[in-house]
Amino acid sequence: MKISEILKRDFVISELSSNNKSDILFELCKYLEQSGIIKNKKDLFDSLIEREILASTGIGENLAIPHVKIDGIEQIIGLLGKSVNGVEFESLDNQPVHFIFLLLIPQNSTGQHLKALARISRLFKNSSLRDHILKAKNADEIYSLLIDEDSKFI
- Annotated catalytic residues are 67
Pairwise CA distance, residues 154 & 133, whole Å: 22
- What's at 102, amino acid-wise? L
Q: What is the dihedral of CA 139, 143, 144, 149, to 10 degrees?
A: 140
For residue 152, give the 3-state DSSP assignment.
Answer: coil
Other CB atoms within 10 A of residue 151 CB: 11
Q: What is the DSSP letter of 9?
A: G
Other CB atoms within 10 A of residue 152 CB: 8
For residue 51, give the 3-state DSSP assignment.
Answer: helix
Rg, the chain, Cα only: 14
